[in-house]
């Protein structure tokens, strides 16, 4: 089984046991996207740098013993209709084209 195929539960357990890092898990997800998205076309915009920076911060928190959130360190994808500050968000619409919102939607804010 590949890292990208782990369930949320299994990935979370491995992260907390330090059998896996969030960075490794995030990189595995990006590799899977690269392998399949040319056929699936599920992603409109990818932000690898921000995702990996978030993964590094999650790894630091987990190393420090922060186990409060069961989703800490788990990479997620957001539907393109949630505004994401500084990242092209066009809801799949040609009318919105290269719209880059100046703020995050409430559902996106951390």
DSSP letter, residue 99: -
Query: Do 50 and 88 lie in a common domain?
Result: no
* pLDDT score of 110 more than 70: no
Query: Do 11 and 47 lie in a common domain?
Result: yes
Query: Do 84 and 39 lie in a common domain?
Result: no
Task: Give mean pLDDT, residues 37-46.
Answer: 93
Assign 3-state DSSP to the chain and report helix, strand, coil percentages, each to 5.
Answer: 45, 0, 55
Kindly report, residue by residue over 14-35, the tens digit of the pLDDT: 999 999 999 999 999 999 999 9
Kindly report, residue by residue over 47-72, the tens digit of the pLDDT: 999 999 999 999 999 999 987 889 99
Number of domains in the chain: 2
Query: Do 8 and 55 lie in a common domain?
Result: yes
Q: In this structure, is residue 17 part of a structural domain?
A: yes
| pLDDT, mean over the chain | 93
What is the end-to-end Cα distance of the chain in Å, rounded? 31
Q: In this structure, is residue 72 part of a structural domain?
A: no
């Amino acid at each position: 089984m590949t890292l990208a195929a782990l369930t949320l539960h299994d990935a979370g357990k491995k992260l907390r046991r330090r059998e896996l890092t969030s960075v490794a898990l995030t990189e595995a997800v990006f590799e899977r996207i690269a392998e399949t998205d040319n056929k699936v076309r599920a992603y409109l915009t990818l932000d690898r740098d921000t995702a990996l920076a978030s993964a590094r911060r999650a790894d630091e928190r987990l190393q420090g013993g922060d186990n409060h959130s069961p989703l800490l360190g788990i990479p997620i994808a957001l539907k393109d209709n949630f505004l994401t500050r500084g990242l092209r968000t066009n809801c799949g619409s040609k009318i919105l084209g290269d719209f880059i919102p100046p703020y995050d939607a409430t559902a996106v804010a951390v």
